[in-house]
Chain A
């Protein structure tokens, strides 16, 4: 039988056998002091789990892990061969086709908002996943985690104002922040109205109020530069006012938000949003004008999507082809990933509709093709509908003309830039003959109104989510989506601006 330490560990790990459980129970009864010891291990175990770092690259694992099977020499020789093949291929291609490199796309962003808890912004609202360009962030309340491209991670607690200067520098004019600066981001600078903190690879907190500014060092060392004083060096456990009384104080880590805690907090916040969404689903499904709603919460492994619209009896469930299940907007929320030329969901919307609204939650990974399908009628012609994203990032509702008449494209301005790739976006489009317009929305906000020249009814028929079947023989145009969807709905009425805004919340 294992010793007491091993029995306690098995209890904590949830791997006790029944014989071990019996043994541990007997020991607890015969040795009263063992109970307190077990509970102390239990408390410590729970606390250690709660200190799990947010970012896995903090974790070191050198000596304990098995040795790699490849030596450096193997890797370099393979890499050298690969480089030769690539160079040869590039030379042959350029020589044969006289290709010139296209101008590369660029981004002005210097950081990314990675997480947020109960965020309310005074400046323009931003959501986790948004790349951030230099400029002022004004956070009214909540906690935001920002990762600078140079590697520093910063938590700001509202109310706060932070001006992003570059990938290695920011200015804090109000509020509290805490920063974790790994060795590769050494030299990260935070300016305040009264001085500059230069980090030498460490963790520190900064509190900037109208009356005072204080820096607290939790780990490592920072340099404090002030215009009228010599540079001061602050070490682990020390704190100091940036101006005025420069006595060395004791750092107080507990008064700052911790990078380790935001993970649990944002998980709870996400679960709360997920529960709210679940609770609102039945009302949405009962909407009299709703013909089709896929919530993508079908059993994992299912190859069909159930239509939850109460009044959508004439529209059958969608059939999944190729696409695979993945995680949606929140942990526990499911979505379908479209990657391959074959991936699609087939469905049929019989008859005609005079008015139409469609809404989808979509995560676009890239725009690799001229047209990237959201929802497309099969083939083209006679009032068919094509909702898609063009290669240059515009969302388009294309409506085919009837009896050979010219089709009409209703485009948004460029919406999907590389900064938006990989993030969930809510899209909606309304074909509104009463208002004689098509309206496009992104994340609940009206993007564009486009006048309708023809208000004839639409004929969707057999259609596909995330792909297109043009029914030609001898080759089919490739228009599949590279991304994921986690909710799709279709109404035969025009939703108002406020109704679309609610869907996107």
Chain B
């Protein structure tokens, strides 16, 4: 990489979480956020010689992310049955009209602290589902429970984490979480 390329990559990486947050807002479809962030990175780097890296990159990255998010969202949902497409349309509209957009950038570091505070069973569940990529039916098989019970347990864990983040943020930031 030449120096300008390296600087461009560093600028992007400094705004990585910002890009992810924008991606969440415009493409609320499971598993799309990381693909969008990667595509924004590639397109940002492909045109890096055009960018003035001394100015704030957020407006540019927000525009690029929005376009790419819409494109990828359309491509992904287009392959779904009509009834799922209608649901996806509805959810995207809700996300765009939302009063409080995702605060990914602020919340991700707090979330890490909150994860440490989860009870052991809840942490195990997060680790199995999110880190070991084991689906809820397979987790249910392993622990002799109904799949619906696992779904509800994951739902409760996410709600607890949301409460923890809000508590921590109100108290003044990640260090107090």
Contacts and interface: CB of A to CB of B under 8 A. Distances in A.
Nearest to B13: A265
A53 B132 CA distance: 10
A429 to B, nearest CB: 27
A437 B108 CA distance: 58
B30 A271 contact: no
Given A25-B83, A64-B142, A48 B6 contact: no
Interface residues of B, number: 65
Interface in A1-45: 2-3, 5-6, 8-16, 18, 21-22, 24-25, 28-29, 35-36, 38-45
B139 A9 contact: no
Contact of A39 (B94, B125, B151): B94
Q: Size band of the A side of the interface? A: 35 or more
A44 B128 CA distance: 16
16 contacts: A21-B86, A25-B86, A38-B94, A43-B24, A43-B107, A46-B20, A46-B104, A47-B107, A50-B34, A51-B115, A61-B127, A64-B124, A237-B176, A252-B175, A254-B174, A272-B42
Interface string B149-161: 0011011001001
A21 B80 CA distance: 11
Given A12-B30, A47-B104, A51-B112, A268 B87 contact: no
A250 B173 CA distance: 10
A275 B44 CA distance: 13
Which of B1, B102, B128, B175 has the largest count of A CB atoms less than 10 A from its CB?
B175
Interface in A231-289: 237, 250-254, 258, 260-261, 264-265, 267-269, 271-272, 275
Contacts of A5: 151-152, 155
B68 interface: no
Contacts of A118: 1, 6, 9-10, 13
A348 B130 CA distance: 50
A40 B152 CA distance: 15
A453 interface: no
Given A25-B83, A40-B158, 11 more contacts: A5-B151, A14-B31, A25-B90, A43-B24, A46-B24, A48-B126, A51-B130, A59-B127, A118-B10, A142-B6, A268-B38
Contact of B108 (A12, A35, A50, A65): A50
Given A39-B98, A261-B16, A59 B125 contact: no
Given A25-B87, A237-B175, A35 B94 contact: yes
B95 A39 contact: yes
Contacts of B86: 21, 25
Nearest to A43: B102
Interface string A45-72: 1111111110010011111111000000
Contacts of B20: 46, 50
Given A44-B162, A254-B174, A268-B38, A59 B28 contact: no
Top 8 closest pairs, chain A to chain B, by CB: A9-B151, A5-B155, A6-B151, A250-B175, A35-B94, A44-B158, A25-B87, A21-B84
Given A48-B111, A59-B127, A272 B28 contact: no
B113 interface: yes
A263 to B, nearest CB: 11
B169 interface: no
Interface in A110-129: 117-118, 120
Nearest to B23: A46
B110 to A, nearest CB: 9
Given A25-B83, A141-B10, A237-B176, A40 B162 contact: yes
Interface string B29-65: 0110110011001100100000000000000000000
A219 interface: yes
Which of B42, B109, B116 has the largest count of A CB atoms less than 10 A from its CB?
B109
Which of A22, A25, A50, A265 has the largest count of B CB atoms less than 10 A from its CB?
A50
Contacts of B126: 48
